[in-house]
Chain A
Amino acid sequence: KAGVTQTPRYLIKTRGQQVTLSCSPISGHRSVSWYQQTPGQGLQFLFEYFSETQRNKGNFPGRFSGRQFSNSRSEMNVSTLELGDSALYLCASSLYRGQDTEAFFGQGTRLTVV
């Protein structure tokens, strides 16, 4: 069974540009969550999607947005990139939204903004 796939693995962008990251969850999983991880910081929750609807949103500016498609694949978009957006972006998929459901993570996309 394939794991969570995130593309691309690495990305370099210039300040002011916009970027789209992709996440394909484990087959059958319907919940996808996105996190930002910067050095020395814990994972910061961005948003969660379930059945194509955003269910939860973290404390990030409106430049960060996402969506989920009918096949559960998800994308997140960051517009007007800032240097501080450089981070590892992780996607996690879960079978459902239950509180005890296990989250499986992808390898992440390393975004560098120059």
Chain B
Amino acid sequence: KNQVEQSPQSLIILEGKNCTLQCNYTVSPFSNLRWYKQDTGRGPVSLTIMTFSENTKSNGRYTATLDADTKQSSLHITASQLSDSASYICVVSDSNYQLIWGAGTKLIIKP
């Protein structure tokens, strides 16, 4: 069964610190992996999209990595800011245009 699992479920860090969120997937066939940021009560916003051949992709202070062999991805946030408080969702696309969504990691940045 195609699944996307994220860890941790929630995370609290101090402003200015770095953090890494994890995503494991069992989607096959794999097309691409996306990370989204969702603020409370709003729609998700795309951070990165990575295909099979890409190992790393950055978007400002966000860096995503992908290991297609172990079917793992991570999202690293550098020098966190209060505005980074949100849910971060890992999404894997299969070749049938279906997006399989993880449950998300809720990140809280404390001043």
Partner-binding segment picked from B38-46, B57-65, B67-75, B76-84? B38-46
**Residues of chain B from 11 to 55 with CB closer than 8 A to chain A in the complex:** 31-32, 41-46, 49, 51
Out of B31, B43, B96, B97, which one reaches A105, CB within 8 Å? B43
Contacts known (A100-B49, A100-B51); A42 close to B43, Cβ less than 8 A: no
Contacts known (A40-B103, A42-B103, A45-B99); A99 close to B31, Cβ less than 8 A: yes
How many of B's residues come within 8 Å of A, CB to CB? 22
How many of A's residues come within 8 Å of B, CB to CB? 26
B4 / chain A contacts, CB cutoff of 8 Å = 42
The interface of chain A, by Cβ under 8 A from chain B, is: 4, 33, 35, 40-45, 48, 55-56, 88, 90, 92, 97, 99-100, 102-108, 110
The interface of chain B, by Cβ under 8 A from chain A, is: 4, 31-32, 41-46, 49, 51, 89, 93, 95-99, 101-104
